[in-house]
Amino acid sequence: MSKHITVRLDKRGVSCVAKLLDDVAPRTCAAVWDALPLSAPVFHGKYARNEIYTLLPGFAPDPGKENTTVTPIPGDLCWFSFDSDDLGNPAYGYENTTGTGTTGAIVDLAVFYGRNNLLINGDQGWVPGNVFGAITENLDEFAAACQDLWMGGARGETLSFSRL
């Protein structure tokens, strides 16, 4: 039986449904599923284009690479693993100089809502992500809210993931 989750922009009151891709990313799906619900401030991608994401203190062991991509498509949910040194550069735009303010593992859960994304970073090069989910319901409305996040600002908004 497929597992489904709700992805929500809380302040904007919009959500979508995503199917977990257990068949191609079982370790990543298990790590996310076992940790739900998850919620934290949202950011809009600066390099990848049509991406929103949240940064969380490591909540599970790194699943390693599985079902990776550097060209996510609309509706993809991706997992990225970083540490505070990876995100400590002020160029990333976080309000402190250590990214999330944590040390150690940082999990980036991202939602891609439009086309023509490319996961390359000027400081680190290619940044492949594990595709662990695919939005199956309400992508258009969610994408419009993501675009509003880009144009209207992310302050005060949270991105939440929960079991359906």
By three-state DSSP, how is residue 70 classified? coil
Q: pTM of the entire structure?
A: 0.90
Three-state DSSP at 160 gives strand
- How many structural domains comprise the chain? 1
The parent domain of residue 86 ranges over 4-163
Element (H, E) at 121: strand 120-121
Give the C-alpha separation, 106 to 55, whole Å: 6
Total Cβ atoms within 10 A of residue 123: 11
pLDDT digits over 97-154, tens only? 444 555 668 899 999 999 999 998 877 789 999 999 999 999 999 999 999 999 999 9
pLDDT band at 29 (very low <50, low <70, confident <90, very high): very high
Q: CATH number of the domain at 89, please.
A: 2.40.100.20
What is the DSSP secondary structure assignment for residue 65, as one 8-state letter? S
